[in-house]
Structure 1
Amino acid sequence: MKKFKLLLVASLLAIVSMAFLTSNINAREAERVALNEVQGIPANASVSSEWAKYYPRQYDSWKRTKEGDEMEDLLKKKPQLPVIWAGYRFSIDYNSPRGHYYAVQDNVNSLRTGAPVDDLTGPFPTACWTCKSPDVVRLMEEDGELEYFTGKWARYGSEAVNSVGCLDCHNPKTAELAMGREYLNRGLEVAGLPRFEDATHQEKRSLVCAQCHSEYYFKKTEYTDKAGKDQTAMVVTLPWHEGLTAEGMERYYDSIDFSDWTHKISKTPMLKAQHPGYEIAKTGIHYQKGVSCADCHMPYTQEGSVKYSDHKIGNPLDNMDRSCMTCHRESEDKLREIVHTKFERKEFLMEISMDNLAKAHLETGRAMELGATDEELKEIRTLLRHGQWRWDYAIASHGSFFHAPEETLRLLADASEKAQQARISLVRLLAKYGDAQYMAPDFDTKEKAQTLAGVNLQKEIEAKMKFKETLEKEWHKQAKAKGLLDEANRKDVDLESSYFKKK
């Protein structure tokens, strides 16, 4: 009898437990289904907090990109850079990137973007907003792509106010992956690749990143606006006409006689790599094995029955259990050691390349002072142009040493070789003009390098700080009045730059 009672109690407890478990599973399944249903997000919702009502987990993880707030003055860390970029605004200011949360503010703060005094002043075109804000997707829809790419960047100072967010990668009606920048499709087409809408879902998980993490240039495009007035748009264009390799893009740029700027010291027509992360990653083993950008930088996470992509886009080593260990069988410590070795090898070759390139520019400048002709310097300048392009392409996407370590080291070695070839030719040329013993001046500090590059840093800082106290504040007022400013997600964005730290 006692045994029967014990069995009865145990059975009742099991039934009750199963009931609770079934209820919990059903509740979680209902939550999962609800999350996957199409939501009523307003079209072109560039304010990311609007999406939080329907996708709270994704939104909360996106907000954590705020944690990536460390900023390093790379001109101070790598003083060769101002000499290498002399005459280009990167020689004034260049910092390590912060998280997506800060993209708009860092664009505004950078000394590179200058200090506009009104909505018509520059120095850069509106295209400088293109990869900083989901408001760009909205503006292209409202104004038209060519109209958006017309004028100076200050023109949209009160419009591009929300930092990289949901609308950059998702359709607001379906929440599916979407491409809001048509220049990507044009780039894919000239490269002979499927358009975004024809790509596989896994490929789309990289292509949404490729909208911005790719090499580009501003192509002058003539058009007639809605008022019948002739205009010139500076359209972001992907140079994939000869392929997605460094050499392929170089051939394209050479074929159209394009240069980003003329070097102030060597008078070389130069190319500036932007951030060819997508292109260089395609040459690496992870991409070749079918791994997408999102697999590592936005790994899936599980909460109950809900599986979602972590939108705290950053270093995969910060969450290796979800980003690396789902595929690799080594220990986390072993993988970290491998990554560190790749990084140190890149740093070693990068330093050699930068030293040789900077000295070659200075030696070219000396040869010019002594009377060397453009014809005598033609081949030297070609070596400088191509060598510096390879160096810049290899390091401008930051993670290239991991995405494609072999390709990165190959490009850096080639860059150094071309710089050395230029310097050997310069030794002969300097000897011809009576200065065989010339040695390039020191550029072992940011201050020395910027002096050689002709940078008036204090003037740039004073102008920028005046802009921040005047026009920038006006932009915020206007954006707030238009209902565009998501004040909760503007909090603490203006903390630091290379020239100030906000208390």
Structure 2
Amino acid sequence: MAKQLKQWQGWILFGGSMAVVFILGLLVSSLMERRAEVASVFNNKRTVFEDEIIAQNEKFKADYPREYETWAMTEDTTFKSKYNSSQEVDVLEQRPEMVVLWAGYAFSRHYNTPRGHKHALEDMRKILRTGNPGIMVKTADGSDSIAVDMQPATCWTCKGPDVPRMMRELGNGKDQFDPANFYAKKWSELGAEEVNTIGCSDCHDARTMDLRPARPALYEAFARRGLDVKNATHQEMRSLVCAQCHVEYYFIKPNDEKNPGKANYLVFPHDKGLTCEAAEEYYDEIGFYDYIHPLSGTKILKAQHPGWEMSQHGIHAQRGVSCADCHMPYKQEGGVKFSDHQIQSPLAKIDRTCQTCHRQDAEVLRQNVYDRQEKCNEVRNRAEQELARAHFEAKFIIDKGATEAEMAPIQALLRKSQWRWDYAIASHGATFHAPQEVTRLLSHSVDYAQQARLLIARVAAKHGHTEAIPVPDYSTKAKAQAAIGLNMQKLNENKQRFLQEIEPKWIEEAKKNGKLIEI
């Protein structure tokens, strides 16, 4: 009986071994097939570029169909989140206080939530902040035309791979970038050149497809801090290609005596560090301001979009997570693993973003984000309310005869308050990247604004006004724009003339010269 049992055990062992060998054979076969598939991607390239910059994104499609297909999907605006979805939303309509805060600056005319990279050029050309709508000039034949030359070419910098191409063409045309020549030109001078939206050569060397930022400003900012972008690791590069654009910056003023020949030169104010206060110290030291607020007379600092700086204060960046890990999660097709180039909110693909590290349910993770965003927005609402009233109240006491000496400490507080508010809200996704830092900045903004309002009340009393200071109705976008003196009908009419008369000529010329490829 024992002998018979041992025979059955032998057969079971034999059968099990055969099954294991068979399964291993299938695995090896699958692995070899996938390795062959991966090799074919790199060995069968149809195009070998000799130039590091290829502005037409369509030229990469044949060799990188997966990446191109997902990049093209940045045109999709269907994703909806509780905050900052991919649709174009009129922020000024939602938050009319922002019209008041940006009085004296073009953002008070038009400010929308950003859409995907595929829309970058389109959105820039149609926004009321470009084309200088509202100013008319005479052409050589005496007819009316539209002056579109107030903005510098620097405004194009982050809108597509034609920018590094033109910087090089304005150099020696081969390997020498000349950003100074590019920045010195007018926005409209390059309208027929800047026609390919954000794409491949913004982040990759076309010859090798290695990651590399294409904007000199990032390299220059790092160099001033004793660092070299080229020494960054691959994982760091997966954030730095984003940092070249999603960053705080300013233009050197044309009349800056300390920087001759650098009119409208693009600079990242990182010399003293990557905090809001470090940038403020940098700006204070050089006496910089973006505009003077027409109500309060305050020299305002306008934050741009310090997304990269703000992210560095969050737990993800501090743990070595890159921008691409969350905004460009990996995808697997057969034996090919590649980055999803449909750059968008991580909440759109939680299974491939958050859940690669976090094991909680998708809806739990989503609600975690919303909870933090909601708390940040509570403080944001208060900051905007305090600041908007403060600017109007400041104008009231100026009209009542407040002196420069009386206004100086008020304006200093308003500058500090608005800088912290703007730095926090201009950074797209900051309430996810670094919610504690956002809350800290907005809380300080509220504090400075309230201090300013207390001083205003004291000055008002000194000049004989002891009651509540009256302010105009700015409860809607239209009322707020009227309150700060904008003629929106005129601005919109002239913008339409720009879109009908000038923009089509740029596109036509670009197609004629082969700068823009039609699919």
TM-score by length of 2: 0.86
- 1:88 corresponding residue in structure 2: 105
Tell me the residue number matched to 1:207.
Answer: 240
Counterparts of 1:266 and 1:291, CA distance in 2: 42
Change (3 A) 1:326 1:19: closer
| CA shift for structure 1 position 185 | 1.2
Deviations 1:242-293 (A, max 9, x none): 1110000000000000000000111111000000000010010000000000
Corresponding residue SS for 2:332: strand
Structure 1 residue 330 displacement after superposition = 1.2
Deviations 1:11-47 (A, max 9, x none): 9999999988766644432231243468613522111
Deviation larger for 274-283 or 194-203: 194-203
In 2, distance between residues paired with 1:95 and 1:219? 26
Determine the structure 2 residue equivalent to 1:175: 209
The reply on whether 1:66 has 2:50 as its aligned counterpart is: no
1:31 to 37, 49, 60: 37
In the other structure, the counterpart of 2:445 is 415
Partner of 1:250: 280
1:77 aligns with 2:94: yes
Q: 2:173 maps to which residue?
A: none
Whether contact under 8 Å (2:303, 2:426) holds in the other structure is yes
Secondary structure class of the residue paired with 2:252:
strand
Tell me if the contact between 2:146 and 2:494 (Cα under 8 Å) persists in the aligned partners.
Answer: no
Unpaired segments ≥5 residues, structure 1: 1-10, 224-229, 489-503
One-letter amino acid of the counterpart of residue 151, structure 1: K
Q: Would you say the 8 A contact 1:91–1:453 is kept in 2?
A: no
Mapped to 1, the partners of 2:439 and 2:22 lie a distance apart of 63
- In the alignment, residue 288 of structure 2 is paired with which amino acid? F
One-letter amino acid of the counterpart of residue 447, structure 1: A
Shift of 1:436: 2.2
Which of 317, 341, 353 lines up with 1:311 in the alignment?
A: 341
Q: What is the distance in 2 between the residues matched to 1:120 and 1:426?
A: 40
CA distance in 2, matches of 1:93, 1:139: 28
User: 2:499 aligns to what SS in structure 1?
Assistant: helix
SS of the equivalent of 1:233 reads: coil
Aligned match of 2:150: 123
Runs of 4+ aligned residues of structure 1 deviating over 6 Å after TM superposition are 11-23, 116-120
Deviations 1:413-442 (CA, angstroms, capped at 9, x unpaired): 000000000000000111111222213222
1:306: Cα distance to partner? 0.5
Q: What's the CA shift for 1:188? A: 1.5
Q: Distance in 2 between matches of 1:187 and 1:115?
A: 30
Alpha carbon RMSD of aligned pairs, Å? 2.4
Residues 450 and 344 from structure 1, CA distance in 2 versus in 1: closer, same or farther, beyond 3 angstroms?
Answer: same
Paired residue for 2:225?
Answer: 191
Q: 1:222 to 1:388 in 2, by over 3 A?
A: closer
Is structure 2 residue 420 aligned with structure 1 residue 390?
yes
- Equivalences for 1:12-411 in 2 at 5 Å? 25-36=31-42, 40-41=48-49, 43=51, 44-68=53-77, 70-115=87-132, 121-143=148-170, 144-192=178-226, 194-220=227-253, 232-411=262-441
Q: How does 1:416-431 map to 2 (within 5 A)?
A: 416-431=446-461
Contact kept? 1:222, 1:231, Cα under 8 Å:
no
Report % sequence identity.
44
Distance, in Å, in 1 between the alignment partners of 2:61 and 2:121 is 20
* Stretch moving more, 23-32 or 375-384: 23-32
Structure 1 residues 286-324: Cα deviation after superposition (integer angstroms, max 9, x where no partner)? 000000000000011111111001100001011111111
Q: Is the 8 A contact 2:161 2:196 kept in 1?
A: yes
**2:234 & 2:376 partners in 1: Cα distance?**
32
C-alpha contact 1:284 1:405 (8 A) present in aligned 2: yes
State the match for 1:500 in structure 2: none
Larger Rg: 2
* Counterpart Cα distance in 1 of 2:429 and 2:440: 15
Q: Which moved more, 1:147-156 or 1:14-23?
A: 14-23
Kept in 2, the 8 Å contact 1:151–1:233? The answer is no
- Could you tell me how far apart the structure 2 residues matched to 1:288 and 1:426 are? 41
Asked if 2 retains the 8 angstrom alpha-carbon contact of 1:75 and 1:95, the reply is yes
Q: Distance in 1 between matches of 2:496 and 2:146?
A: 17
Name the structure 2 match of 1:494: none
CA distance in 1, matches of 2:497, 2:110: 17
Amino acid at match of 2:193: E
Shift of 1:348: 0.6
SS in 2 for 1:53: coil
Distance change in 2, residues 1:439/1:414 (3 Å): same
Q: 1:333 to 1:14 in 2, by over 3 A?
A: closer
- SS at the partner of 2:68? helix
- Residue identity in the other structure for 2:355: M
